[in-house]
Amino acid sequence: MSTAVQQTPPAAPETTGGTAASALRGRLEEALLPPIVAILAAMVVGDLLILSFGQSPGAVYRLLLEGTWGNAYGFGQVLYKTTTLTLTGLAVALALRAGLFNIGAEGQLAAGGFMAALLGLLLPAGTPWLLAVPLCLVAAALGGGVVGAVPGALKARFGAHEVIVTIMLNFIVLALLNWLVAAHLHVPETLHTPDIRAGGVARLGGIFTGSAANWVILVALAAAGAVWFYLFRTRRGYDLRAVGLQPDAAEYAGVRVGGVWMRAMAVSGALAGLGGVNFVLGYKHYYEDGFSGGSGFLGIAVALVGRNDPVGVVFAALFFATLSQGGLAINAVVPKQMVEVLQGVVILAVAIAVPEVRRLLRTRARRA
Amino acid sequence: MIVLIFLLQTIRIAIPYLFAASGGVLAERAGVVSLTLEGFMLSGAFCATLGSHYSGSAWVGLLCGAAGGLLMGLLHAVASIRYKADQIVVGIAINLLVVGITRFFLHLAFDSSSNSPRVPGFGGENAGSGIEALAANPLVWMGLVLVPIMGWLIYRTPFGLRVRAVGEHPLAAESVGVPVPRVRYMAVALSGLLASLGGAYLALDQHQFTDQMTAGRGYVALAAVIFGRWDPVRAGIACLLFAAAETLQIQLQGLEAIPSQFVSMIPYLLTIIALAGIVGRSVPPAALGRAED
Amino acid sequence: MPPERTAAPVVRMAGIEKGFGSVLANREASLEVGAGEIHALVGENGAGKSTLMRILSGMFTPDAGTVEVFGRDVTGWSTAEAIAAGVGMVHQHFMLVPTLTVAENVALGSEPTRGMLLDRDRARRDVEERSRTSGLAVDATRPVSALSVGEAQRVEILKTLHRGAKVLILDEPTAVLSPPEVQELWGVLRGLRDGGATVILITHRLDEVMEISDNITVMRAGRTVDHIRTADTTPAHIARSMVGREVALAAEADVYRPPARGPEARPVLEVRDLVVSAHGRPRAVDGVSFEVRPGEILGIAGVEGNGQTELIEAIAGLTLPTSGAIVLNGADVTESHVRARGDAGISHIPEDRHRRGLLMDYSVAENLVLGQQHRFQKGMALDRERIARNASEQVRAYDIRPTDPALPARALSGGNQQKIVVAREMMRDFHLLLAAQPTRGVDVGAVEQIHDRLRQARDAGKAILLVSAELNEVLALADRVAVMYAGRFAVVMPREQASEDVLGPYMTGAQREAA
């Protein structure tokens, strides 16, 4: 007489086992969703704010577009801002792909810019740019990379949550840099270092003369390509994405999760550090306290709207850069601070709407 | 005498931290990440300025400040609890949003991009920072008394028990009929209100609102919460500790012994050390950040 | 003797339907229980018993059907309402807040107050009082995290009684208890029943059902299939109801086929005195020693939760053992990293493909190299050509559908997902295969195919360690059968001596081989 009945294990929550076509459509919906939500949210709130100032939304939007994509100087400024945002966006996106939240891009950006300026000051004045620029880029990447590696190591070794560590480190790094410049390295009456002697990157000439746009944009685009290749074509990228998706499965697959975390944070920091080069090597040719100006935090928005995808990040950077420059263009009519409100609104809207819509889509699929 | 001055100065600096940290402890104990303390404080500062300016009364300013924080708290709650958005992203978004909103309305109301006009605070125009001025400021008393009150709230009341349960094991709480979302809403809304009072104190004490005047204090408060291991009294002590370090630096300013930047780093360094478990482990509430039960 | 059933049932559930996503957990499920009764709700894993009871206790709302308690229609009520009406559930995974004390946990949700304060003294006294009257021994002031599993369960029951539960639902309560604790529990339940309360016991242990229950409801695949008085039935009858016709099918389809040659002499795997702790269970594997030789399948039978998972994870390298040794082909691998073990010749079909075995968002092709991705490199980059070739080979060999290797694993059915894992682990070079629940969720036709592959591998001289909660599967494949109970091997015997009747007592701990 048997006293126990063998158990049929519970059917694991089954997938809807659809066709290839429906899977593709699902992915398309998901990829387009954040940008659409972002633009919609910006427009709705933008309309409200513009109306509260007694202006017409249509006129203001036209002014915004004219000031950004409608003239060469404006577009040059947009390109300049896109460069920095692309790099910080890539930094955040890469870390997120590994399941890590890098809020420290602001500090890593500043550290990278500082290291580039430092090297630029130390190098002799006649150094050929073919040597000086790459060296300064490496310095920037190292600066940001070291700052990024700290939270990575703390997480791998102690399980310390990287969100808090990166936020704290931001303040520490910025304070440190502030002290270095204010106490030792600044040009009198200013908060910036002397002009660098070597490693400067030329502005984009031609139609963009007068704007801050410079050749560092190539670095940003190259970085986007490199990150894409790293994530989707290399074995380390395979490991990294696995850790971000299902750490248990990555562990099963022989991936050392702690090592991936460290590497991801270091590379993420390095990318953000490169972002600093845009201002230091490409624009002002010196390091200035506070030059980061929120680009590190905006990188989070860029990564979010760009869905952590290198190509998406570039377009999202373009969006936020346009918004930022557009604020200046409409400043005579509506205060440019409106743009900052829109930035916050966009992030919030995307953060809320995307999971919500995803949930709605899933319920609709279930009822079908 | 020097000790008294030191103490008063420390208290003066600590008050905003105490408000925000108390709110932060409550919300995080309920399982909701409080990166928003900075934004709550700033909105409190701004609304308090508006209220005081248009009414001429610091008390009205205080109430407006609280209302502003309450509103932001509700926004955080709705996004994080109802819509289950990623609480870290929501935190960053709200902080950015508040900076933008305050700047926008600063421009709209006062036609300035950096500061508001002078507004009445508590204790008159020329109050100074002596002991009489501090004693006359109701927010000082509220801030100090809030620490034991929060301790009492969390450990001695039914609401506090529910908050603790909800932040550790929401499913268990739900299984005995505790309305988990409602408890979280209350905790987060209250944290908004409390943190904003810290901002209101800042603005009314300085008699004006300046752009981004909170300057990271909200993050220091969060650091105090973590360093204090999510206990209201320990967090309060951490606030005093951080404030004391700041006071020390100000007192030593003439000596230039330690640059101010390094002193400002102290709270952040201590928090990282706490998180790394070098001085005992700092374990957050188990359900922190997960709105999906 | 239980009192006679009164006319009106205390609980009546009819026509219950409940779905989650695409899974229908309950359909046409029903239940009728009276006062002063211990009622067993029986069925296999996944039969829908827990879901049905969670509907009764207010955690879920049914998509269709009615729930009546004490004659009142309460369909779709909340947990708060259920508790107020006297229906309380003790869950399999305890609903206790670890950082709070016993008294605080019991008080939660209905806290006694003195003014605005918590009346902590009264909470403590309430617990002590209740503990005395019910016979459940607990210490009111200890934090729950410090309690043993048996103590924690007593607190859970106390919680429901504290709220005046007249209907007590227990979900697999004995899964975590030792035999003497089980008897204690029976004493408490009998006391409650004799006092007029209603107890509903969710279980799959038939010996317990016969011992303690008055009536039985059997569920299968989400519906209620049988309703019997315990006195009128036998375990065999219950088992038939639980499993349905498939039992006969299974007996025909899986017939043990011994290997052509006996196993070789030198073992591939040696495990010596292995002790493994995991997730707060100090000795989940409590001193296990055995060997597996090339050309044999060692099948570990037993109800899930007796340490099989931890054993496999330790051998695979995913958990570090507390003590003991794991030796592969003469080399000590006890502390080796997962990848090193894979390179040394261990293949692993994990029991949870969703968590461990597959990356749901990766493509089929990417999943088919999971664990071996370092072998598919060309410099820093992945060798996509080889990965594609590998994929088309394995998709064809195991008939994985749909055949497009670029599809995300998420898009495939459960059975095909499992085939990805099996194909990947079996089509590479290995000496030892760890197969944990290898045919879970796989349709019948594919099960046969996978079983054939396992036998082929064995005949080709591989060593296979099989863990399955399906006794039939173990009996169909294993050359030697071990039964795991409470972290130890209760018995190891050659297949010829093994059968359901022989193994059953070992599986429930009723019998244990002298060490």
Alpha-carbon distance of C252 to C249, in angstroms, equals 5
* C258 domain residue, yes or no: no
Q: Looking at residue A9, what is its pLDDT? A: 29
* Length reported for chain C: 515
* C261 domain residue, yes or no: no
Alpha-carbon distance of C92 to C84, in angstroms, equals 22
pTM of the model: 0.82
In contact, C364 and C395? CB cutoff 8 Å:
yes
Residue ranges of alpha helices (H) inside C30-178 are: 49-56, 79-85, 102-107, 120-134, 149-162
Report, as ranges of residue numbers, the positions in chain B whose pLDDT lies below 70. 123-129, 253-257, 278-282, 291-293
Contacting residues of B for A339, CB less than 8 Å apart: 100
Are the beta carbons of C381 and A233 separated by less than 8 Å?
yes
Residue of B nearest to A347 (CA): B93
Task: Give the DSSP letter of residue C377.
Answer: E
* C200 domain residue, yes or no: yes
Question: C445: Cβ–Cβ under 8 A, 6 or more apart, which residues?
Answer: none
Greater confidence (C296 vs C236) lies with C296
- Quick one: C353 and C451 in the same domain? yes
- Quick one: C460 and C487 in the same domain? yes
- Quick one: C101 and C222 in the same domain? no
- Chain C neighbours (≥3 Cβ pairs under 8 A) are A, B
In contact, A305 and A38? CB cutoff 8 Å:
yes
- Quick one: C414 and C503 in the same domain? yes
Mean pLDDT of chain C: 87
Q: What is the 3-state secondary structure (H, E, C) of C181-207?
A: HHHHHHHHHHHHHHCCCEEEEEECEHH
Question: A162: Cβ–Cβ under 8 A, 6 or more apart, which residues?
Answer: A95, A100, A101, A102, A151, A152, A154, A155, A265
Furthest-apart CA pair in chain A: how many Å?
Answer: 95
> Other CB atoms closer than 10 Å to residue A183's CB: what's the count?
11
* C106 domain residue, yes or no: yes
Q: Which domain range does residue C47 map to?
A: 8-86+178-243
- Quick one: C207 and C343 in the same domain? no
> Other CB atoms closer than 10 Å to residue B9's CB: what's the count?
19
Are the beta carbons of C239 and A19 separated by less than 8 Å?
no
Burial class (CB in 10 A: 0-12, 13-18, 19+), A363: exposed
Beta-sheet pairing, C23-33 with C11-20: antiparallel
The alpha carbon torsion through B47, B51, B54, B57 (nearest 10 deg) reads: -150
Task: Give the DSSP letter of residue A203.
Answer: B
**C179 in contact with B, Cβ within 8 Å:** no
Cα dihedral C420, C422, C423, C427 sign: positive
* C286 domain residue, yes or no: yes
**B280 in contact with C, Cβ within 8 Å:** no
Q: Looking at residue A13, what is its pLDDT? A: 32
Rounded to the nearest 5 degrees, what angle is found at the Cα of B174, between the Cα atoms of B169 and B180? 80
Are the beta carbons of C470 and A8 separated by less than 8 Å?
yes
Beta-sheet pairing, C432-436 with C346-349: parallel
- Quick one: C78 and C96 in the same domain? no
Q: Per residue in C456-489, pLDDT tens?
A: 999 999 999 999 988 888 999 999 999 998 889 9
Rounded to the nearest 5 degrees, what angle is found at the Cα of C438, between the Cα atoms of C434 and C439? 170
- CATH code for the part of the protein at B2-275: 1.10.3470
Among the ranges B25-29, C14-18, C55-59, C379-383, which has the highest mean pLDDT value? B25-29
Give the confidence band of C280 by pLDDT, cuts at 50, 70, 90.
low
- Quick one: C78 and C93 in the same domain? no
Are the beta carbons of B171 and C107 separated by less than 8 Å?
no
- Quick one: C215 and C339 in the same domain? no
The C-alpha of B172 sits at a distance from chain A's nearest C-alpha, in angstroms, of: 23
Alpha-carbon distance of A191 to C229, in angstroms, equals 88
Least CB-CB distance to A171: which of B93, B103, B268?
B268
Contacting residues of A for C342, CB less than 8 Å apart: 254
Total number of domains constituting chain C: 3
Q: Looking at residue C509, what is its pLDDT? A: 64
Cα dihedral C485, C489, C493, C495 sign: positive
- Quick one: C285 and C147 in the same domain? no
Contacting residues of B for C113, CB less than 8 Å apart: 158
Least CB-CB distance to C414: which of A5, A12, A362?
A12
Mean pLDDT in order along chain A per 10 residues (368 residues): 30 39 67 80 87 85 88 91 96 96 95 94 86 93 97 91 90 92 82 82 78 90 96 96 95 95 97 94 89 90 91 93 90 84 89 79 62
Are the beta carbons of C111 and B286 separated by less than 8 Å?
no
The C-alpha of B234 sits at a distance from chain C's nearest C-alpha, in angstroms, of: 18
Q: Which of C212, C319, C349, C359 to mutate to test the interface with A (most CBs of A within 10 A)?
A: C359
Q: Looking at residue C511, what is its pLDDT? A: 63
Give the confidence band of C510 by pLDDT, cuts at 50, 70, 90.
low
Residue of B nearest to C93 (CA): B172
* Length reported for chain A: 368
Contacting residues of A for B101, CB less than 8 Å apart: 341, 344
Are the beta carbons of B158 and C111 separated by less than 8 Å?
yes
The C-alpha of B293 sits at a distance from chain C's nearest C-alpha, in angstroms, of: 12
Task: Give the DSSP letter of residue C232.
Answer: G
- Quick one: C392 and C284 in the same domain? yes
Residue linked to tokens 């009858």: C237
Percent of chain C's residues with pLDDT above 90: 51
User: Which of A264, A358, A258 minimizes the C-alpha distance to A308?
Assistant: A264
Q: Looking at residue A20, what is its pLDDT? A: 57
Q: Looking at residue A24, what is its pLDDT? A: 67
In contact, C134 and C191? CB cutoff 8 Å:
yes
Percent of chain C's residues with pLDDT above 70: 93
Mean pLDDT of the C388-396 span: 95
Are the beta carbons of A158 and B90 separated by less than 8 Å?
no
Q: Residue C418: which CATH number?
A: 3.40.50.300
Q: Looking at residue A366, what is its pLDDT? A: 56
